[in-house]
Amino acid sequence: MIRVCINGLGRIGRNCFRLIQKSDDIEVVHLNDPNMSLKNLVYLLNYDSIYGRNESLITSDEENLIDKNRKVSFSQVSDPMELQPKLKDIDVFIESSGVINVQNNAAKLARDKIVKKTVITHTYKNADKTIILGVDSSSSCENKDSVISTSICDSTAVAPIIQAVVNLKEIETGTITTLHPWLQYQNLMDGPCRSFAHPHQNVENFSLGRASTEAIIPKTTSCIEAVNEVHPNLRDRIFGMSFRVPTPSVSCAIIDLNTDSDLTSAELFSEFEIINNNYDKKIFYFNDEELISRDFTGLPYSAIIDKRWIVIKENKLRVIAWYDNEYGYCSRVLDIIKKII
C-alpha cells in the first residue's frame, strides 16, 4: 500500500482524495490545508457541485477525518516543512496547493529524504522529472528522481496526441487552442484577479478579472511550454492560446498540425491504439456520438478524441480532444504515483 499525504485540498487535491477512496493501492495518511477547517473539508469532500455526492460519506472527530472507519490526520500549516512529524513512513507527498513557495518547500521534503517522493500537480521548473503518460520520453523516472511534476491537464491531454503524430511524421508547424473552464481564482463579478501561484499578487492580464460566468476570456496558455517540456524538438514550431469559457468543467483542445509528408487517418488511429494499449486503454477514448462538453464530465481518460471532427488533408491535420480537466487529470496523477513507487 502506497501511503500519501495531500497538501492543498482545492479542486485537484479533493479529486485525488475521492479517487484514492476507490483505490486498492493507495491510502491517504495525512491531509493539510491552511485555508479551511476540518469540518469544511469534510463537507466539500462529501458534496461536490460537479461530481455530486460522495459514494462513501466521510465524517470527523475533533482532529481527524474518518473514512470508512479509518482515521486520517489533518493540519492547517502554511509551510510543508512544518509537517515533518506527521510524515513518518509517507511514500509520496502530493503537493496540490499550486503556490510556488509551497511547491519549493514540498520539494525539500523529498530531497531531504523526509518522504520518498514529492509529486507536484503542476508544471515545476525544478522538478527532477516531468511525467506525462503516453509520451515516450516522459513516462517513467529513475530512483534518483525524487521530485516529480505531473504537468498540467492540458499537456496531459495534448502531449500523447502529439506523440502519436511524431511517431509517424515530423511536425513542421502547429497551433494549439484550448477552451478551458473557469478556475477558482477568477471572479464572479468584475474586479482585480488574484494570482493563485503568488498569493497577495494580482494577475497582470486584467481581462481575467472580468466576470467569469458572463464572457469568453482570451489568454495566453501554459500548455505550449508544458508540451515543449516533454517534446523539446518542437520548441518554436507549435504556438497557441487559450480561452476561458463560462463552464465549470471539461476542457477542449483544438490541435492543428502540419507534417513533413502526407498522413492518413488509418495510420493515425493505428498509432493512437498502440499508445492506448501500452497504458491499459487509459490515455485515449474515441467518441463518435453527438455529444457536448458536459457529457465528458467524470471520464478518467487523458483525452477523448472526437472522431466527428478529425480532419486530415494531405500533410495537414486537425484533432479535437475533450478532457475532464479535474477528474481525467487526477486519474493520471494517481497512475503516475503507482508507477514511481
- Domain positions in the chain are 2-121, 154-325
154-325 — its CATH code?
3.30.360.10
Q: Which helix (H) or strand (E) holds 336?
A: helix 327-340
Count the neighbouring beta carbons within 10 Å of the beta carbon of residue 88: 11
Q: What are phi and psi of 280, to 5 degrees?
A: 55, 35
Q: What is the pLDDT of residues 14-42, one digit of tens each?
A: 999 999 999 999 999 999 999 999 999 99
Is residue 137 scored above 90 in pLDDT? no
Q: What is the pLDDT of residues 158-193, one digit of tens each?
A: 999 999 999 999 999 999 999 999 999 999 999 999
Q: Fold for domain 2-121?
A: Rossmann fold (3.40.50)
Question: Residue 236 half-sphere exposure, CB side, CA atoms within 13 Å?
Answer: 0
Count the neighbouring beta carbons within 10 Å of the beta carbon of residue 69: 6
Is residue 139 scored above 80 in pLDDT? no
- How far are the Cα atoms of 154, 176, 251, 341 from residue 327, in angstroms, in the given order? 13, 22, 11, 22
Residue 143: per-residue pLDDT:
86
Which parts of 132-282 fold into alpha helices (H)? 153-166, 223-230, 265-278
Percent of the chain past pLDDT 70, that is, above it, reads 100
pTM over 0.85: yes
Cell matching residue 243 = 480561452
